[in-house]
Structure 1
Amino acid sequence: MSDTDVASWAALLRVHAALVPLIDRELQAACGLPLTWYDVLLELNSAPGRRLSMGELGEVAVVSRTRASRVVDQLAAAGLVAREANADDRRSAYATITEAGRARLRAAAPIYLESIRRHFTSRMTARESATVATALEKVLGDLPR
């Protein structure tokens, strides 16, 4: 392993550790929506039928499976998500974004996107940004599931 390999890994960790709390604070201050809530709402809104099983949500959200369930509980208490029983499998349930959840997601999206631009992509050229995205997607694509 080269020094460059270690440096790229360390930079990824430092950027993640610095930006996730920063973007979370900005989202919460501007619209009262924690970043974990935003992520779960975004995944649900993008899913077919705007719903996912809890297992599917745990696979696509950036929070752990256990944390995804707790976030769904919090979102359900806030009226932003509804839990639905799975008629085919009583051991599982679905999370579905509500209209109120879609409205909160739409209101938060400009703040989220501007935070990403200001703190992350504005520091790179368009080519560098594309290279980062391509490289990280390549790593994700090769990971075992």
Structure 2
Amino acid sequence: MEPRWLDETEMRAWVAFLDTSNLLLRRIDQQLREDGGLTQPQYELLTRLAEAPQRRLRMAELADLLVTSRSGLTYQVTQLEKLGLVHRQAFQDDDRGVLATLTEDGLDALRRAAPGHVRVVRENLVDLLSHEQLLALGDALDVARAHLRTTQRRD
């Protein structure tokens, strides 16, 4: 079966998405390293923990939220644990489960890095688009994300 090649409009949208994502993530990573000594994945991990009840999540749940492998998450948590930003502990009544908990130092690191992070996101994406464009972008990406999350669970 012959592939259904992208037409000019589809290719323009795809390349714009790739370039924008890569360029923005590179800027975010640079800002986070400068302001907080964190990588973008580490910042996202700390953010997810900060938003969780009691600032902790099971490692398996955290891996799903971050869309990363469990071994990749273990590596990141180990690095953050060495810095005193995250603490791991066994889940009560379940020896197989491990909880990752954001420490006070982790919350402080997040607070130091967050203002610059928001500035970079605003300057390079949010403030460049109109309210209508942001709504359309959010709606479009919600469709793709929902599809990918659904098919990820089946794979």
TM-score scaled by length of structure 1: 0.90
In structure 2, the residue matched to 1:10 is 15
Pairwise mapping of residues 98-117 of structure 1 onto structure 2 (< 5 A)? 98-117=103-122
1:61 maps onto 2:70 in alignment: no
Cα RMSD of the aligned pairs, angstroms, is 1.6
User: CA offsets per residue over residues 12-71 of structure 1, 9 Å max, x none?
Assistant: 111111111111011111222221111000001111221111110111115443322111
- Provide the identity percentage: 34
SS of residue in 2 equivalent to 1:96: strand
Alpha-carbon contact 1:27-1:35 (below 8 Å) kept = yes
CA distance in structure 2 between the partners assigned to 1:118 and 1:42 by the alignment: 20
1:130 maps onto 2:130 in alignment: no
Pairwise mapping of residues 91-102 of structure 1 onto structure 2 (< 5 A)? 91-102=96-107
Note closer, same or farther for the CA distance 1:35–1:131 as it changes in structure 2 (3 Å cut): same
Following TM superposition, the consecutive aligned residue runs of length 4 or more in structure 1 with deviations greater than 4 angstroms are none
Gaps of 5+ in 1: none
Selected match of 1:34 from 24, 28, 39: 39
Aligned positions, number: 145
Greater displacement, 30-39 / 112-121:
30-39
Alpha-carbon contact 1:39-1:62 (below 8 Å) kept = no
Q: Which residue type is aligned with residue 49 of structure 1?
A: Q
SS of residue in 2 equivalent to 1:108: helix
CA distance in structure 2 between the partners assigned to 1:91 and 1:8 by the alignment: 44
Displacement of 1:117 after TM fit?
0.6
Gaps of 5+ in 2: 1-5
1:73 maps onto 2:78 in alignment: yes
Note closer, same or farther for the CA distance 1:47–1:89 as it changes in structure 2 (3 Å cut): same
Alpha-carbon contact 1:36-1:63 (below 8 Å) kept = no
User: CA offsets per residue over residues 98-121 of structure 1, 9 Å max, x none?
Assistant: 111111111211111000011112
